[in-house]
């Protein structure tokens, strides 16, 4: 077991989930409630990382952040920030590719809330902000939980984008999935086994959590439809 890689993986997963939750929540709620005509385009853009090969995403991120690009050069000179082959760059890439995993379940849980609950809160005198905190959030939390769980599990399992953008620098960008690849390349199947099994178990637990949360939400929905 490569504990250094496990630490990088867990750090990356935790940071991604925490940083992505607030903007993901905002975007998901907006998508769930908005009737704007351009919404399908936003939704399509959001889902794009799911369909594109990781190499394509990694390639464009490399182009955008590399020293050769204007953005990359500016970041390096002004902020002394290097986004290629660094943990920061890996985190940024991870935030982008995880957006659909965070937004989708939250969007679904907000869309499932009957609009009459919001209206009932308003006529009862609750402001939009109070309605969000006291009514919507407590009812949509299974979606938030699912979003975080999916994001964490997916970050731990991400391979292609990590390899393209981060490479395999021990303690900096070598995650568990990259470490497994390295182990297999070196014919160390025993070493690969332990890490692979850990990932399988963790992902399974995360998915089980997602489905359990979904069931809770379904129970809340049936009450409203009675």
Partner 1 sequence: MGRLQVQLQNQAPMPLAAEFECAAGELIALVGPSGSGKTSLLRAVAGLLRVPQLQGTVQVGDQPWFDSARGICLTPQQRRVGLVFQHYALFPHLTALENVAVACPSSLDIRQDASLRALFERLGLAGLEQRRPAQLSGGQQQRVALARALRRILRPQDGRVEPGGVLLLDEPFSAVDAPTRQTLYRELAALRQQVSTPMVLVTHDLSEARRLADRVVIVDAGATLQSGPPERVFSSPRNARVADLVGIQNHFRGRFRRLPDDRGVLRWEGQDGAGLDLQVIDKHRLDDGVAVTWVLAGEHVDVLLPAAAAPADDTQNRLLCTLVEVLALGETSLCTLVPEGLASEKLTLNLSTAQLRRLGSDVGGKLLVQIPRQGIHIMPQRTGG
How remote is the C-alpha of 28 from its chain's centroid? 13
Residues 135-174 that bind partner 1 (CB under 8 A): 135, 138-139
Task: Indicate whether 34 belongs to the interface with partner 1 (CB under 8 A).
Answer: no
Q: Name the residue nearer to partner 1 (CB basis): 20 or 113.
A: 113
Task: Indicate whether 127 belongs to the interface with partner 1 (CB under 8 A).
Answer: yes
Task: Indicate whether 35 belongs to the interface with partner 1 (CB under 8 A).
Answer: no
Q: Name the residue nearer to partner 1 (CB basis): 119 or 188.
A: 119
Are 134 and 126 in contact by the 8 Å Cβ rule? The answer is yes
Task: Indicate the burial class of 175 (C-beta count within 10 angstroms; 0-12, 13-18, 19 or more).
Answer: buried
Q: Name the residue nearer to partner 1 (CB basis): 38 or 138.
A: 138
For partner 1, the binding residue among 37, 123, 187, 190 (CB under 8 A) is 123
Say how far apart CA 27 and CA 117 lie, in whole Å: 20
Q: Kindly state the smallest distance separating residue 217's Cβ from partner 1, in Å.
A: 11
Q: Name the residue nearer to partner 1 (CB basis): 61 or 121.
A: 121
For partner 1, the binding residue among 7, 39, 134, 215 (CB under 8 A) is 134
Are 107 and 117 in contact by the 8 Å Cβ rule? The answer is no
C-beta contacts of 34-42 below 8 A and 24+ residues apart? none
Task: Indicate whether 220 belongs to the interface with partner 1 (CB under 8 A).
Answer: yes
Give the CA distances from residue 203 to residues 53, 67, 108, 149, 163, in Å, rounded to whole numbers and listed in that order. 21, 36, 21, 9, 20
Q: How many residues at the interface with partner 1, by CB under 8 A?
A: 21
Nearest CA-CA partner of 62 in 38, 81, 45, 83: 83
Are 89 and 13 in contact by the 8 Å Cβ rule? The answer is no
Residues 103-122 that bind partner 1 (CB under 8 A): 114, 116-117, 119-122
Task: Indicate whether 33 belongs to the interface with partner 1 (CB under 8 A).
Answer: no
Contact residues for partner 1, defined by CB under 8 A = 114, 116-117, 119-127, 134-135, 138-139, 220, 223-226
């Amino acid at each position: 077991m490569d504990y250094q890689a496990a630490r990088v993986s867990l750090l990356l997963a935790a940071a991604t989930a925490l940083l992505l939750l607030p903007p993901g929540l905002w975007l998901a709620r907006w998508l769930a409630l908005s009737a704007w005509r351009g919404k399908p385009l936003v939704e399509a853009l959001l889902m794009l990382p799911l369909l594109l090969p990781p190499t394509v995403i990694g390639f464009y991120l490399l182009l955008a952040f590399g020293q050769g690009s204007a953005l990359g050069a500016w970041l390096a000179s002004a902020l002394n920030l290097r986004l290629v082959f660094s943990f920061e760059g890996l985190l940024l890439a991870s935030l982008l590719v995880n957006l659909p995993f965070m937004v989708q379940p939250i969007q679904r849980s907000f869309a499932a809330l009957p609009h009459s609950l919001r209206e009932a809160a308003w006529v009862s005198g609750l402001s939009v902000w109070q309605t969000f905190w006291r009514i919507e959030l407590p009812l949509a939390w299974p979606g938030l939980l699912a979003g975080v769980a999916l994001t964490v599990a997916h970050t731990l399992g991400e391979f292609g984008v990590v390899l393209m953008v981060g490479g395999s620098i021990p303690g900096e960008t070598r995650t568990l999935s990259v470490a497994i690849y390295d182990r297999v390349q070196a014919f160390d199947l025993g070493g690969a086994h332990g890490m692979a099994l850990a990932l399988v178990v963790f992902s399974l637990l995360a998915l089980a959590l997602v489905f359990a949360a979904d069931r809770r939400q379904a129970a809340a929905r049936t009450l409203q439809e009675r």
